[in-house]
Amino acid sequence: MNKLSNVLTAALAISSATAFAPSSQCTHKTTVLSAEPSTRRSILATAATTLTTASVLLSSNSQPAFAEVSKGDSLPEGAAQFKRLVSLKADLPSVIKRVTEGGADDSPMPIDKKEWDALSDFMRKIYKSGEDMKAFLKGGAIYDPEKKKKAEADYKLLQKIAQAGDVPISKEDAAGLAGILRKADAVLEDFFELLRDIPDEI
């Protein structure tokens, strides 16, 4: 698992050098999502790609634990969780934007029933991401005791926030949900900061 930590460090370092790569766009069922370019989201997206590639390269070792990876069936332990977390972090800004715009009184594209259902599914995805954070930490991603304690608090808080999202969704309260989504985004931001020790200006 030390190798995975080294890969993570390398992935984040490489991603800083390509911080202005275009961020991906994502669609959740009928929800219209179009994320604006962001240096931090570009860093995370590049880190995910780099980590995935590096993880597959590590699988060329003869260790049985990486046998499935060498066949292309799955990622090593920790890499899959990290990739899902990066994907969620990249998705959140566009979901927040859609909820904010769709919930406006004068919105030309108000949020419909299918989109509210999709948003409910998205909140479950956020909750499950707390489990990914927990599993990732167990893999030795953070060794500093103080940082690890903060990261553990982050995944617990993220799951509470996800559960709180049920209330505005049931009431179709777009403003309330947007606020909860922003809190989830902030928690993920803090979690990724704990994984990084590369200055933003690099």
- Taking alpha carbons only, the member of 192, 176, 186 closest to residue 132 is 192
Spatial separation of the C-alpha atoms in residues 194 and 200, rounded to whole Å: 13
Q: Which of 7, 85, 72 is nearest to 44 (CA)?
A: 85
Task: Give the pLDDT confidence score for residue 68 in this predicted structure.
Answer: 43
pLDDT of residue 162: 98
The conformation of residue 123, written as its DSSP 8-state character, comes to H
- pTM of the predicted protein model: 0.65
Along the 202 residues of the chain, how does pLDDT read in single tens digits?
454 555 455 455 444 444 434 444 444 444 444 434 445 555 555 555 445 444 433 333 434 333 344 445 566 667 889 999 999 999 999 999 999 999 999 999 999 999 999 999 999 999 999 999 999 888 788 888 999 999 999 999 999 999 999 999 999 999 999 999 999 999 999 999 998 854 444 4
Residue 111 near residue 174 (C-beta atoms within 8 A)? yes
94-119 core/surface letters (b: 16 or more CB in 10 A; e: else):
bbbbbbbbbbeeeeeeebeeebbebb
pLDDT at position 47 is 54
Return the pLDDT at 150. Answer: 95
